[in-house]
Amino acid sequence: MLAEDPQVPCSVSLPVADDGKVIAGEFLTSYWGLTRSLGGDPAMLLAEAGIALSSLHRSGGKVPLRAAANLLEISARVLGCSDFGMRLAERQNGASIMKPVDRLISNAPTLGDANRYVTSQMQAYSPGICATLERDTERKMHFLGVELLLDGFVAYAQIAEQIVLLIQTTTLALTGGGARVREVWFSHPRVSRLATYSRRFGVHVRFGQPITGAFLTDADLNCELVDRDPRIFAAESRWAAARFPDQPPGIAVQVRQAIMRTLAEENCTRAHVAASLGMHTRTLQRRLCGVGISFEALRDEVRRSLAARYLARGDLCLAEIVDRLGYSEPAVLSRSCRRWFAATPSELRRNLIR
């Protein structure tokens, strides 16, 4: 194998019931043309993923998010195009596909304002995606993180790379090149050549990270948008406030992300997670109780999701997976997999890896 060859095969998602999480049909803008240019049959691939053609051509059409992500994975595999998601992003206008809040984002005063609207209004765009903007004190930068809220989902490399490249291209377009991402993180392993990522992002790209997203500096977030219209922004702000009140990530999502960041550490406890979120342990427990879930249940849910994701990776041995999930020994992983999936880790891995 060449040093720059993809490290792992494509993975698939576990079969779970439709969860009702959708995304605007505009998310697949240019899919048809890209697939045809690569010699593929877009209608056949859409049908295989379970996506109706009408949802792409109808204004306001919605597509199941799980099906959209699977479509990109299927297309990459069938067309032999490991960077399919990034190729699709290059053909798209990141702001314009964020309907119904595209005009609000495009006319915000600064990039920071635009990103804060992205994170607070993401539910209006897709209830299956969570976006957060957090300060990384160690790097002295801000991290724009993206997570797909799909249970048992492991087929995510192509959609993750599409989304993060859209962050980069949209940042450049909105600021006229005045701002750009400074580092990129992907939670999945590398699926394309290193040169492919270097050419698209022009910054260091890390794989196998706790969460997917991109780093931005203070100067980037303070950069003004070049073609903004204050009148349009004012009108869109009033409209969005009335129709889509700010919906920052709920406490369960915040805790999930904190658990994902610290799960491999020995101190992924309720107290440690509460401290990382700037609250007392009792406050965290009370707020979780208010939404009907416990810290232990959330930690188990995160482990279940990550276990499927890690087992789909051919580059991770079982011992590494045990460590990443914060377990003390392989037997605990085996018991958990039998409880979650009615299968051993080895059996599950055989079903997930193609």
Q: How far apart are the first and last CA of the chain?
A: 18
273's tokens:
């997670």
pLDDT value of position 187: 87
Strand partners, 110: 224
pLDDT value of position 248: 56
For residue 95, pLDDT over 90 is answered with no
Q: Indicate the helix (H) or strand (E) that contains 75.
A: helix 65-78
Pair 258, 273: CB distance under 8 Å: yes
Pair 249, 201: CB distance under 8 Å: no
114-159 pLDDT, tens digit each:
999 888 888 778 888 888 888 888 889 999 999 888 876 666 899 9
Pair 37, 127: CB distance under 8 Å: no
Tokens 């690569």 identify what position?
A: 38
CA dihedral 29, 31, 34, 39 (to 10 degrees): -160
176-212 pLDDT, tens digit each:
999 999 999 998 889 999 999 999 999 999 998 878 9
Q: Which residues contact 62 (CB under 8 A, 6 or more apart)?
A: 22, 23, 24, 25, 55
26-75 pLDDT, tens digit each:
999 999 999 999 999 999 999 999 998 887 777 778 899 999 999 999 99
For residue 2, pLDDT over 50 is answered with no
For residue 3, pLDDT over 50 is answered with no
d(CA 275, CA 284): 9
For residue 309, pLDDT over 60 is answered with yes
pLDDT value of position 246: 56
pLDDT value of position 15: 40
Nearest CA to 172 out of 216, 213, 141 is that of 216
The CATH architecture annotation of domain 251-352 reads: Orthogonal Bundle (1.10)
310's tokens:
């890690």
Q: Which amino acid is at 9?
A: P
Task: Give this prediction's pTM.
Answer: 0.80
d(CA 213, CA 260): 14
Q: Which residues contact 4 (CB under 8 A, 6 or more apart)?
A: 193, 194, 195
Domain locations in the chain as residue ranges: 22-243, 251-352
Long-range contacts of residues 222-225, Cβ cutoff 8 Å, at least 24 apart = 222/110, 222/111, 222/112, 223/110, 223/111, 223/175, 223/178, 223/179, 224/109, 224/110, 224/111, 224/175, 224/178, 225/106, 225/107, 225/108, 225/109, 225/110, 225/111, 225/114, 225/174, 225/175
Average pLDDT of the chain, as a whole number: 87
263's tokens:
């799960």
pLDDT value of position 316: 85
CB burial string 194-205: b at 16+ within 10 A, e below: eebbeebbeeeb
Which of residues 155 and 239 earns the better pLDDT score?
A: 239
pLDDT value of position 264: 75
d(CA 66, CA 272): 32
d(CA 335, CA 312): 18
5-18 pLDDT, tens digit each:
344 334 444 443 44
Q: In the chain, what percentage of residues exceed pLDDT 70?
A: 91
